[in-house]
């Protein structure tokens, strides 16, 4: 970024709400050009057309950040596109800036000085004779309403090819401080895959529905002619209802529509400023013959390199793994979101925190999380509170919820473990310390016993299915997370040769308080005994008798025959069991096809991870319309157990990034083979085991410059780089 800070922010002088605005100007060149660069960003999401050609493959630029402190600028090389006479158009749609969730737009207006979409750009043209021209956005740029005559993140868009704003006006300058402009530090969002229509369905209600066979995030590109003036609509949905009709009540207020106003000419259309979460689309007012080849679903997400693979002899587990991968694709659009379809699509910290380990094995997300964590730090309050969603679109003085706010410690630590990134730990150390200080202020008798918490969100211990946050005691969860986050902070301080001050002592006190209040004789006390309580006490090393607490967990699971955990307990449930000798129970939970369990949704035909264990019931009816996403990655965190335990690839914290690997696969009679690989910073780590004639053989591959410990039947063998086989 070089010149943009000298440009002016401009907006349309007319209020053009919920539609695209185009800012444009012409300029001439009369000598040979050596190079030309455009720097641009917007308040909203933008596209640039230079002489009719759209620049680059970056969609939904400038992405979504804590705008008031960090707004990403993109630099485009425009040298090959320049002519003697040039026209530049920057189209801006509301995008995330238009979020009406709670009072976000008001808040952001306050921070950024404008409620409307706005743009800032500079063009630097270097001539072969050594001279330079600079063009900046200012009031000489014209502005007009674009052909996307309606655009709203949740509701969708209307494109009218016939629309022409006959009264373009000079743009209005907005006096704004440009200190928040930064070079893009995240990944670009780009179009990633094209999916054809799998089936055209006429539903019992007579609706024309296209099934793309996969729940995803993106948009439909369609060929259309239609009759002049006719409005054709594409509605989006994730599932069909029990009768096989189109169902979208779970989108709540998000209309999620793509509208096209026909002009009688043939067009190929896709949105410039909108995306949707969907598998099915319903067509309305399409007067052309409906042909599969006229519709393609384009999958969009942040550019991330796929690094992790898992396969086993059970097709259901493979489908589960595929659903997890698709959950990540669908929810990694610049920000790790809870879901991509309904009127939410927010960067919920808790969801990101439970999934980060899996995410970092599946894909290279180092850059993605580095950027998001910078937003987390930017939005953290001066008193250390970590907002529930990042970027924060809620009130800035929200209280912290345990397990959500802990994204501030858990996510950077995972970046260190998976990628060996120490810098992110250094960058996050103050944020971690501030957060722990915030908790300390909220402790009572050494327990984190105040404030609003989401609890073991969506667990099955509450008094009714609607009671999402009760079940496991919230003070127990909060104190357990304080202990866990403190452990991370202490390790982070050691790594950076910093003093952890009084945190080790406070952690010890919290451990004692936890044991005194919530435990009895090495077990969780009867009045607090839930699966999640046992899981946390074991997995975070809080219990004074982990063997006994794990036994209690095993009893609780086997007594009811299934898991009852929500967002807090589920990610560690299988680990807490298999780490303590209950591998069979862990596999029993994994293989369960009935509700509640991972394979229930697979049996029901899911292609992504559901928000609830029974988002759809056996009979095809729905859990509820109020909060029911079919693309919610949180429970996909089970993939870290598939990589780490079923396949047995574990990171050694003392030599992260797989420099020293621990291979400790846990086999089960119900599987004939498992194979997994993770492309690490050192090379590809592989683990495979297979059963032949009753015997199990193992294969491990250790990248160059790495070492590994193989643990089989309790016996440890040290191995160096290369391929290793064991019987
Ligand atoms: C979101 C969750 C989130 C939760 C907070 C929901 O509406 O979809 O995934 O973590 O709120 O409890």
Q: What is the pLDDT of residue 397?
A: 63
Nearest ligand 1 atom to alpha carbon 348: 10
Quick one: pLDDT at residue 321? 98
Beta strands in 529-642 (DSSP E): none
pLDDT at 103: 47
Instruction: Report the atom number in ligand 1 closest to the C-alpha of 611.
Output: 9
Q: DSSP readout, 634-678?
A: GGGGGHHHIIIIIS-EEEBTTBTTTTEEEE-----TT-SEEEEEE
Cβ neighbors of 110 (< 8 A, separation 6 or more) are none
**332, 301 in Cβ contact below 8 A?**
yes
> For the chain, which residues make up each domain, given as ranges?
4-184, 190-302, 305-646, 660-726
3-state helix/strand/coil string of 64-81: CCCCCCCEEEEEEECHHH
Architecture per CATH, 190-302: Sandwich (2.60)
Residues 6 or more apart whose Cβ sits within 8 Å of residue 329: 192, 216, 217, 299, 301
Q: Are 671 and 309 in contact (CB under 8 A)?
A: no
Per-residue pLDDT tens digits for 597-643: 999 999 999 999 999 999 999 999 998 888 999 999 999 999 999 99
What distance in angstroms lies between residue 389's CA and the mean position of ligand 1's atoms?
A: 9
CATH architecture of the domain formed by 305-646: Alpha/alpha barrel (1.50)
Q: Kindly report the protein residue whose alpha carbon is nearest to atom 1 of ligand 1.
A: 338
Q: Which residues of the chain fall below pLDDT 50?
A: 102-103
Pairing of the two strands 707-712 and 660-663: parallel
Distance 192 CA to ligand 1 centre (A): 27
Q: Which fold has domain 4-184?
A: Jelly Rolls (2.60.120)
Residue 527 CA to ligand 1 center (angstroms) comes to 27
For residue range 98-114, list pLDDT tens digits in order: 775 544 555 555 556 67
Cross-strand partners of 273 = none
Which residue is closest in CA terms to ligand 1's atom 11? 348
Pocket-testing residue among 102, 340, 348, 637, ligand 1, by greatest number of atoms within 8 A of Cβ: 348
> Measured from the CA of 388, which atom of ligand 1 is nearest?
5
Q: How far apart are CA 465 and CA 111, in angstroms?
A: 39
- Ligand 1 centre from 348 Cα, in Å? 7
Q: Indicate if 618 belongs to the active site.
A: no
Contact between 266 and 286 under an 8 Å Cβ cutoff? The reply is no
- How far CA 90 is from CA of 55, 73, 420, in Å, comes to 10, 14, 40
- pLDDT score, position 106: 54
CB-CB contact of 100 with 155 (8 Å): no
Which of the following is catalytic: 22, 74, 344, 679? Answer: 344
320 is written with which tokens? 């589960």
Residues 314-360: pLDDT tens digits? 999 999 999 999 999 999 999 999 999 999 999 999 999 999 999 99
Catalytically annotated residue among 22, 173, 611, 679: 611
How far, in Å, is the centroid of ligand 1 from the Cα of 95? 21
Q: Which pLDDT value is given to residue 666?
A: 98
In sequence order, what are the residues at sequence separation of 6 or more whose Cβ sits closer than 8 angstroms to the Cβ of residue 371?
65, 185, 186, 187, 334
Looking from the CA of residue 349, the nearest atom of ligand 1 is: 10
Which residues does a 6 A CB cutoff place in the pocket of ligand 1? 338-339, 344, 348, 350-351, 454, 457, 627
Q: Residue 670 Cα, ligand 1 centroid: separation in angstroms?
A: 35
Which of 336, 351, 610 is the best mutation target for the ligand 1 pocket, counting ligand atoms within 8 Å of the beta carbon and taking the most? 351
CA angle in degrees (0–180, nearest 5) for 626-627-628: 115
**Active-site residue flag, 199:** no
Q: Which one of 3.40.50.150, 1.20.1250.20, 2.60.420.10, 3.40.50.300 gives the CATH number of domain 660-726?
A: 2.60.420.10
CA of 252 to the centre of ligand 1 (A): 14
- Residue identifier of the C-alpha nearest atom 7 of ligand 1: 627
**Quick check: do 4-184 and 660-726 share a fold?**
no
> Which protein residue has the closest C-alpha to ligand 1 atom 12?
454
pLDDT of residue 624: 85
């Amino acid at each position: 970024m070089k010149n943009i800070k000298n440009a002016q922010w401009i907006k349309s002088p007319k209020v053009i709400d919920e539609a695209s605005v185009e800012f444009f100007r012409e300029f001439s060149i009369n000598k040979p050009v050596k190079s030309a660069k455009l720097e641009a960003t917007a308040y909203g999401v933008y596209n640039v057309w230079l002489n009719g050609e759209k620049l680059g493959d970056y969609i939904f630029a400038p992405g979504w950040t804590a705008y008031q402190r960090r707004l990403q600028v993109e630099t485009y090389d425009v040298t090959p596109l320049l002519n003697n006479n040039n026209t530049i158009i920057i189209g801006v749609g509301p995008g995330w800036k238009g979020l009406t969730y709670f009072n976000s737009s008001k808040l952001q207006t306050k921070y950024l000085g404008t409620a409307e979409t706005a743009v800032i750009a500079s063009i630097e043209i270097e001539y072969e004779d050594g001279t330079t021209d600079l063009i900046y956005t200012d009031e000489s740029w014209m502005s007009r309403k674009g052909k996307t005559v309606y655009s709203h993140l949740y509701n969708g868009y209307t494109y009218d090819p016939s629309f022409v704003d006959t009264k373009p006006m000079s743009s209005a300058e907005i006096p704004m401080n440009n200190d928040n402009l930064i070079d893009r530090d995240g990944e670009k969002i780009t179009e990633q895959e094209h999916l054809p229509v799998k089936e055209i369905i006429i539903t019992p209600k007579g609706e024309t529905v296209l099934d793309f066979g996969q729940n995803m995030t993106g948009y439909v590109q369609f060929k259309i002619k239609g009759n002049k003036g006719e409005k054709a609509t594409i509605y989006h949905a994730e599932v069909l209802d029990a009768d096989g009709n189109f169902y979208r009540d779970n989108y709540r207020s998000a209309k999620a529509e793509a509208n096209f106003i026909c002009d009688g000419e043939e067009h190929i259309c896709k949105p410039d400023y909108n995306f949707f979460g969907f598998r099915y689309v319903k067509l309305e007012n399409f007067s052309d013959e409906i042909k599969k080849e006229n519709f393609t679903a384009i999958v969009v997400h942040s550019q991330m390199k796929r690094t992790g693979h898992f396969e086993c002899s059970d097709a259901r587990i493979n489908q589960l793994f595929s659903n997890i991968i698709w959950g990540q694709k669908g929810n990694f659009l610049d920000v790790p979101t809870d879901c991509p379809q309904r009127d939410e699509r927010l960067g919920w910290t808790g969801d990101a925190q439970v999934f980060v380990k899996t995410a970092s094995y599946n894909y290279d997300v180092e850059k993605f999380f580095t950027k998001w964590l910078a937003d987390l730090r930017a939005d953290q309050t001066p008193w250390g509170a970590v907002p529930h969603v990042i970027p924060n679109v809620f009130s800035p003085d929200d209280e912290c919820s345990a397990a959500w706010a802990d994204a501030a410690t858990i996510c950077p630590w995972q970046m260190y473990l998976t990628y060996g990134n120490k810098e992110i730990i250094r960058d996050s150390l103050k944020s971690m310390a501030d957060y722990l200080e915030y908790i300390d202020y909220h402790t009572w008798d050494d327990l984190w016993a105040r404030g609003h918490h989401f609890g073991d969100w969506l667990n099955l211990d509450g008094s009714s299915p609607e009671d999402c946050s009760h079940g496991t005691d919230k003070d127990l969860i909060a104190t357990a997370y304080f202990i866990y986050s403190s452990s991370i902070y202490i390790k982070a301080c050691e790594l950076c040769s910093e003093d952890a001050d009084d945190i080790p002592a406070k952690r010890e006190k919290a451990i004692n308080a936890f044991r005194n209040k919530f435990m009895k004789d090495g077990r969780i006390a009867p009045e607090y005994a839930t699966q999640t309580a046992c899981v946390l006490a074991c997995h975070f090393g809080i219990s004074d008798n982990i063997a006994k607490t794990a036994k209690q967990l095993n009893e609780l699971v086997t007594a009811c025959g299934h898991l009852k955990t929500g967002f807090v307990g589920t990610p560690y449930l299988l680990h807490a069991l298999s780490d303590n000798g209950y591998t069979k129970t862990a596999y029993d939970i994994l293989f369960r096809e009935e509700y509640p369990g991972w394979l229930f949704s697979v049996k029901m035909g899911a292609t992504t991870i559901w928000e609830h264990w029974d988002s759809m019931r056996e009979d095809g009816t729905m859990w509820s319309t109020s909060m029911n996403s079919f693309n919610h990655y949180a429970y996909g965190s089970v993939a870290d157990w598939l990589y780490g335990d079923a396949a047995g690839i574990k990171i050694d914290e003392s030599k992260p990034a797989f420099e020293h690997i621990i291979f400790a696969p846990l086999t089960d009679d119900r599987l004939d083979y498992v194979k997994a690989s993770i492309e690490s910073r050192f090379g590809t780590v592989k683990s495979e085991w297979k059963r032949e004639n009753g015997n199990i053989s193992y294969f491990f591959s250790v990248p160059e410059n790495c070492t590994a410990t193989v643990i089989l039947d309790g016996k440890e063998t040290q191995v160096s780089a290369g391929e290793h086989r064991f019987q």
